[in-house]
Amino acid sequence: MIEQVFPDIFRIEIPLPKNPLRATNSYFIRGKQRNLLVDTGFNCQESRQAMIEALHELNASMKITDLLITHLHSDLAGLLTFLVTPETTVWMNEADAYVVGGSRQSPHWALFSSFLQLSGLIADGVEDTIERHPGYKYAPELFDRFTMVTDGLEINVGDYCFKCLLTNGHTPGHICLYDEKKKLLFSGDHILGKITPNITLWQLGEDVLGSYLNSLDRVAALDVEIVLPGHRDIIHDCCGRINELKEHHRLRLENVMDILGGGSMNGVEVASRMKWDLSYENWRDFPWGQKLFATGEAMSHLYHLFYTGVLSIISDNGVLYFKKR
Ligand SMILES: [Zn+2]
């Protein structure tokens, strides 16, 4: 499905089979000499087919179209190597390009097993099979011809002048595109409408939730009328949505503190007691992917509380336990 959302800007809905996100928004911006395509879809047949049909309908050739990938996740970056031509410039921030360029051989995936171990997922009986992970399964092929996006870089397409904003948190190198004059923001997965972006922790030693909250404040300070997100509907109240997202994480941090009480718990023990907007009766019924998602989210909140001096961490048998100081 293609919808014109602004003069010369088209939203292309790319289906994501068997995925709760349902579809990715890819945006085609028609320029004078060159066009820009923002984000793609999974590297799978359904996404490929939808993209081919959309580009055909838009009468768009990838020879005169450049690509900007907002972040490393395969639902946005997957079709990169399928679409690219020798003439295509591929814009991405270095931190995320490093993961995407390495495809399934990226060191990023080597962190998966240690995340399962340290968070308590292995002890909980979760299978250590990266092949089941959609991000791994639908990744683009190896690629090393990125043009690196730095914070503040400007990209001109037709009547638009987009400033690239590093908005890390959802991923380390997440980029939003902002046109100040048109008050328009391409938000990737930094700000979504009905869905709260997953803030997860694989790589220990980082406060990703802290980074995410800072990046939300950065966008809140901008004059934005229209947000074009990576999934679902366009957002018209940017600051209102940012406040909702901040409140969501504040409540989640409160929930984690209540769960911990006076004891010490690992990531899985906390995740299995947290409030999730899912229809499963208990933790045992959560599918494999949902257990990963929930535990990664719990870990990012636990680590934020550690970095803000509220919790301490103890390692026991290769699993991390958190307790109040
Ligand atoms: Zn994402």
Compute, in angstroms, the gap from residue 170 CA to the centroid of ligand 1. 7
Per-residue pLDDT of the chain (325 residues; tens, 9 = 90+): 899 999 999 999 999 998 889 999 999 999 999 999 999 999 999 999 999 999 999 999 999 999 999 999 999 999 999 999 999 999 999 999 999 999 999 988 888 999 999 999 999 999 999 999 999 999 999 999 999 999 999 999 999 999 999 999 999 999 999 999 999 999 999 999 999 999 998 777 789 999 999 999 999 999 999 999 999 999 999 999 999 999 999 999 999 999 999 999 999 999 999 999 888 889 999 999 999 999 999 999 999 999 999 999 999 999 999 999 9
Q: How far is the CA of 71 from the centre of ligand 1 (A)?
A: 7
10 Rama class: left (phi>0) / alpha (psi -120 to 50) / beta = beta
How many angstroms separate the alpha carbon of residue 190 from the centre of ligand 1?
Answer: 8
Return the bridge partners of 188, or none: 229
Q: Which domains does the chain have, with CATH numbers?
A: 2-253 (3.60.15.10)
pTM of the model: 0.96
- Measured in Å, residue 324 CA sits from the centre of ligand 1 at 31
Distance from residue 188's CA to the centre of ligand 1 (Å): 7
Instruction: Quote the pLDDT of residue 178.
Output: 98
What's the one-letter identity of residue 42? F
> Where are the strands (E) in the chain, listed by range?
2-6, 9-15, 23-29, 35-38, 65-68, 90-92, 146-148, 154-157, 160-166, 175-179, 184-188, 226-229, 264-265, 311-316, 319-324
Query: What pLDDT, on the 0 to 100 scale, is given for residue 20?
Result: 86
Q: Ligand 1 centroid vs 74 CA: distance in angstroms?
A: 8
Predicted pLDDT of residue 281? 85
CA distance 99 to 109: 9
Cα 162 to ligand 1 centre (Å): 21
Select from 169, 237, 191, 204 the least CA-distant residue to 303.
204
- Alpha carbon of 76 to ligand 1 centroid (Å): 7
